[in-house]
Each structure stands twice: as structure tokens, then as C-alpha cells.
Amino acid sequence: METNNKLKILKTGTTTVGIKVKEGVVLAADRRASAGMYVAHKYVRKVLYIAPNIGITTAGSVADLQFIYDLLKNIYHYNLITGMRPITIKALATYLANMLSFSKYLPYIVQILIGGVDEQPRLYNLDYVGDITEEDYTATGSGSVEAIGIIEDEYRPDMTLDEAADLARRAIFSSIKRDPYTGTGVIVSKITKSGHEEKEYYPQRKI
């Protein structure tokens, strides 16, 4: 009698967006968590903060993302507690890329955007094998195809932070309409050197 011992992999999805402009960086993400075709949670937070001026978006395995987020926060705050210079966004992204590359044969299943402002606005896209690219704008997750089309059509290097935030919101709303793994609403965060301002948006209503 044959038995099928293949590991069943549940498809998960999300849509996250990052946009860099002269004033700062916008990070945005939807709020749905999925496990296969099941909506596991309707109000998940996928925009997190390492410091007031540094944020990340999360896509992938929740357990892996929680570990990486805690690790990055610990590294940043260790420097502050010990009196060392606050770590730069580029250094955080490079450290994470090296860690992901080192563990590529037993990978952390994640795709992460790291963005914020230190000496200048920075936005990095990292995947689970340690690839790292610095971007002006990008989208990740199962709804990225829908989102990136909106962004690419309307992005301008000279757009304001408010215009970038509105563009990110509309890009993820387009994914909510077409991608079954993206849903509920959108968190949009505007990050500058002095901190961040966050708003939540939902279809047909605004908070």
C-alpha cells in the first residue's frame, strides 16, 4: 500500500510596496494573512519599525519574519545602549543579506523591504537567498504584479511624500481587487528622518 509522504505546502500571499522620494520613504502593505485558500487573519500588521526612522515590510513565513525583525531591532538598539553610533539602514540591510545568503540551503522564507531615512532616504529589497537591491520603488508578494503596474505608470522622482503615500495606497488597492491573497485594507507609513506617520485605509471607508 503506497503512502504519500510529500510535505503539503500552503500558499500564502500579501502585497507590500516601497517608494523612495526626496522627502523620505513610504512603506505600505495590506492586512490579510492567508494559509492556502483560508483567510487566517484579517488584520495582520506587515509594516514594522526598527526605529522611528527605519521600517520594514514583511512577506513570507510569520515565524521567520518575527525572528528576523527581533534580531534587527536588537542589533540597532544594542548600538544605542552601548553608546556606539546608531547603525545605518545600509548596514542593517547588508547584515540581513549576509545572514540570508549564509542560510540559503536551509532558508528563512521571507521577502523584506527595509526603508527609512538616516543621512538620506534609503530603500532596500531583500529576498530569502540574500539578494539585495537598492530601489526607488518596488513591490513584493503575490499581488506585486498588479501593484507595480500602477507605481511604474505614475512614479516621478520629484513627487512629494504625500503623493508617494497616495500612490502606494492605490497600488495595493489594485492588488486587493485582483489578488485573492491580498485583502482587508492597507497600512501606509510615511518615514522621514524625524520619525514616521502612519494611516490605515479600507475599501469604502478611511481611518
The CATH number assigned to the domain holding 61 equals: 3.60.20.10
The residue to which cell 512629494 is assigned: 160
Q: State pTM to two decimals.
A: 0.89
Structural domain range at position 108? 48-141
Q: Which of 14, 57, 138, 140 is catalytic?
A: 14
Domain count, the chain: 1
For residue 122, give the DSSP letter.
E
Distance from C-alpha of 183 to C-alpha of 39, rounded to nearest angstrom: 9
Chain-wide mean pLDDT for the chain?
89
Q: Is residue 53 part of a domain?
A: yes
Cβ(32)–Cβ(43) under 8 Å?
no
Residues forming beta bridges with residue 25, ordered by sequence position: 20, 191
pLDDT tens for 6-20 read: 444 445 578 999 999
Instruction: Determine the pLDDT at residue 9.
Output: 44
- Give helix 62-81 / helix 89-102 axis angle, nearest 10°: 130
Closest to 176 (Cα-Cα) out of 168, 167, 185: 185
Profile the chain (207 residues) by mean pLDDT over runs of 10 residues. 45 86 97 79 91 94 92 91 84 94 92 95 95 96 93 95 97 92 94 96 72
% pLDDT > 90, the chain: 71
Concerning whether 14 is annotated as a catalytic residue, the answer is yes
